[in-house]
Amino acid sequence: MTEFEIVHKDLMGRIGKFRTPHGNVETPTIMPVMNPNLMSIGAEEMKRYGAEMLITNAYIIYRKVNLREEAVKKGIHSFLECEMPIMTDSGSYQLYEYKDVEVSNKEILEFQQRIGSDVCVPLDIPTAPYVKRERAKDDLEETVSRMREARSIIQNKMLAGVVQGSTFLELREESAKRVAEIGFDVYAIGGVVPLLESYKFDELVDIIMASKKNLPLNAPVHLFGAGHPMLFPLAVALGCDLFDSAAYAIYAKGKRYITSDGTRKVEDLRYLPCSCPVCSSHSVEEVKESEDLLASHNLCVTFEEMRVVKQSIVEGSLWELCERRCRAYPALLNALNHATKYAGVIEKYDASTKKHPFFYLGETSAHRPEVLRYSYRLNRFKLSGNVLITATVGSKGKEVESGNYDYVFFVKPPFGPYPAELSESYPVGQSEIPAEIDNGAKTAALQNVLKLLELNNGKAKFVFAYDDSWEGHPLIAEIGKHAVVRLMKGGDD
Ligand SMILES: [Zn+2]
């Protein structure tokens, strides 16, 4: 029986049912990080925010004798006073941050097993971004060998396989392939926290894609350390299912107020732009003064955003959500732009028809998987005789349209040429575009016009009619090499 069942999909994002010994978890979801030394919000209380699974650091428990003994005696669930599924981290982050982990891979795994963790994590070696390739490769070899060892130690528990490789995409690919070969219940993309902290979201996109392309589809993928909600839409769209959040507490400690489109210093707030139970029942002054209230708000908005993401998957509007959210920060917009370079990969996973209309929301929409798919399918039109392609609005171009043609195509940005039969179907017929279209939409449409001409070169005679809204676009001259082009001036008819 597979432990991960996909229930809904959009782009590479999915809503899944993940079966654990402590019950099913619906993904994508956030696992709040439970630090046994500082728990302002208890594990059981996390349910009220929407948590379905928790994560705690086995190493932090292990290194303190009293905590270690208590956890062994009670088991991790009673230790945290919670029956939710619990994933345990191994101390890799401490290894990375403080370089002084006094525990072996074997010891920490056996400990995780002994305390009854639902998902154990091996002690992998996180490699920082931008190190020398040799270093990244050596670390990777060590990580892979620890993954193999982990697989032989952990028998009755679920186990996560961690992908490393620093910022070297071929190493990330290799790492993903090798952990996939070993076979794990969960896959985790590690070593990305420094990229998150420096807003290198475009590189994060590359790393996620290099990993995802090589990981099996029937297991959840955890993006380690990505707890800020502003990243959820894009990361989920690229196929990440599990997130952990220590951010809600760390940000609260730093007096920062999380929103779905960024973070604000709480001291700068004059209003609370949120209606969560904290913000609707406390004054801005009260929130400023209480770290607990701030942590509680941060957690509320974190789970709220994940629900928004999930609803978008169900209705097929996850791209639109990415478009809206990624406009909050230039670095996020850059990442979304960057993600469009992978439209060909995303297209393979994406549903070919959706309930939600295709909304054109700016140039990034011109590179959506749907537009690329439409371009791939232009070869289905086998044309002969006289063909009119008309990119004119309303009555303009009537004369041309009344001519004697075997085929007539209309042009809708960003898709390009389509016959009347497709005017009702997804995506062309189910798309909404602004009246004033940008150059990105025009370019995508004209590239597809060109493609249709080239596909039928020598088989059909083309007339391309366009109105002045297209005038001056450089691709018109290119089209003129394969078709008779006619500019239909407004008011001519
Ligand atoms: Zn709030």
293 Cα: distance to centroid of ligand 1 (angstroms)? 9
Q: How confident is the model at residue 270 (pLDDT cuts 50, 70, 90)?
A: very high
Give the tens place of pLDDT for each residue, 1-34: 569 999 999 999 999 999 999 999 999 999 999 9
Cα separation, 491 vs 137, in Å, equals 67
Backbone angles phi, psi at 395, to 5 degrees: -80, -15
> What integer pLDDT is reported at residue 402 of this predicted model?
63
Alpha helices (H) in 198-329, listed in sequence order: 201-212, 232-237, 247-253, 277-281, 284-289, 291-315, 318-325
89 among known catalytic residues: yes
34 Cα: distance to centroid of ligand 1 (angstroms)? 21
> What is the DSSP code string of 440-474?
HHHHHHHHHHHHHHHHTTTTEEEEEEEEGGGTT-H
- Region 188-208: mean pLDDT is 97
Assign 265 to helix, strand or coil.
strand
272 Cα: distance to centroid of ligand 1 (angstroms)? 7
What domains lie within the chain, and their CATH numbers? 4-347 (3.20.20.105), 369-488 (3.40.50)
> What integer pLDDT is reported at residue 439 of this predicted model?
95
Q: Judge whether 235 and 203 are in contact, CB under 8 Å.
A: no
40 Cα: distance to centroid of ligand 1 (angstroms)? 17
- Strand 13-20 vs strand 4-10: parallel, antiparallel, or unpaired? antiparallel
Give the tens place of pLDDT for each residue, 121-135: 999 999 999 999 999
**With 80 as the cut, is the pLDDT of residue 157 above it?**
yes
Q: Name residue, tokens 């016959």.
A: 419
> What integer pLDDT is reported at residue 395 of this predicted model?
44
Whether the predicted model's global pTM rises above the 0.85 cut:
yes
**With 60 as the cut, is the pLDDT of residue 40 above it?**
yes
Give ion ligand 1 contacts, CB < 5 A. 274, 276, 278-279, 297
Burial of 268 from C-beta contacts in 10 A (0-12 / 13-18 / 19+) = exposed
241 Cα: distance to centroid of ligand 1 (angstroms)? 24
> What integer pLDDT is reported at residue 374 of this predicted model?
96
Give the tens place of pLDDT for each residue, 96-107: 777 777 899 999
280 Cα: distance to centroid of ligand 1 (angstroms)? 7
Q: How confident is the model at residue 91 (pLDDT cuts 50, 70, 90)?
A: confident
321 Cα: distance to centroid of ligand 1 (angstroms)? 21
**Among the listed residues 81, 35, 28, 80, the one whose alpha carbon sits nearest the alpha carbon of residue 51:** 28
278 Cα: distance to centroid of ligand 1 (angstroms)? 5
Rg of the chain in Å (alpha carbons): 27
225 Cα: distance to centroid of ligand 1 (angstroms)? 22
Give the tens place of pLDDT for each residue, 168-188: 999 999 999 999 999 999 999
- Region 190-215: mean pLDDT is 97
286 Cα: distance to centroid of ligand 1 (angstroms)? 12
**With 60 as the cut, is the pLDDT of residue 400 above it?**
no
The chain-wide mean pLDDT, for the chain, equals 94
79 Cα: distance to centroid of ligand 1 (angstroms)? 30
CA 444 to chain CA mean position, Å: 24
Give the tens place of pLDDT for each residue, 247-259: 999 999 999 999 9
**Among the listed residues 55, 66, 162, 193, the one whose alpha carbon sits nearest the alpha carbon of residue 112:** 55
- Region 339-354: mean pLDDT is 94
Say what percent of the chain tops pLDDT 90.
88
Select which of 10, 89, 350, 467 is catalytic: 89
**With 70 as the cut, is the pLDDT of residue 397 above it?**
no
The residue type found at 429 is G
348 Cα: distance to centroid of ligand 1 (angstroms)? 38
Cα separation, 446 vs 414, in Å, equals 8
**With 50 as the cut, is the pLDDT of residue 298 above it?**
yes
**With 50 as the cut, is the pLDDT of residue 396 above it?**
no
The token pair at 23 is 């019950």
- Region 441-451: mean pLDDT is 97
Give the tens place of pLDDT for each residue, 212-234: 999 999 999 999 999 999 999 99
> What integer pLDDT is reported at residue 363 of this predicted model?
94
- What share of residues in the chain are helix, strand, coil (percent, to 5)? 45, 20, 35
> What is the DSSP code string of 59-128?
HHHHTSHHHHHHHHHH-HHHHTT--S-EEEE-SHHHHHHHS-----HHHHHHHHHHTT-SEE--------
Say what percent of the chain tops pLDDT 70.
97
305 Cα: distance to centroid of ligand 1 (angstroms)? 12
**With 60 as the cut, is the pLDDT of residue 50 above it?**
yes
Go through the chain and tell me how many residues it has. 493
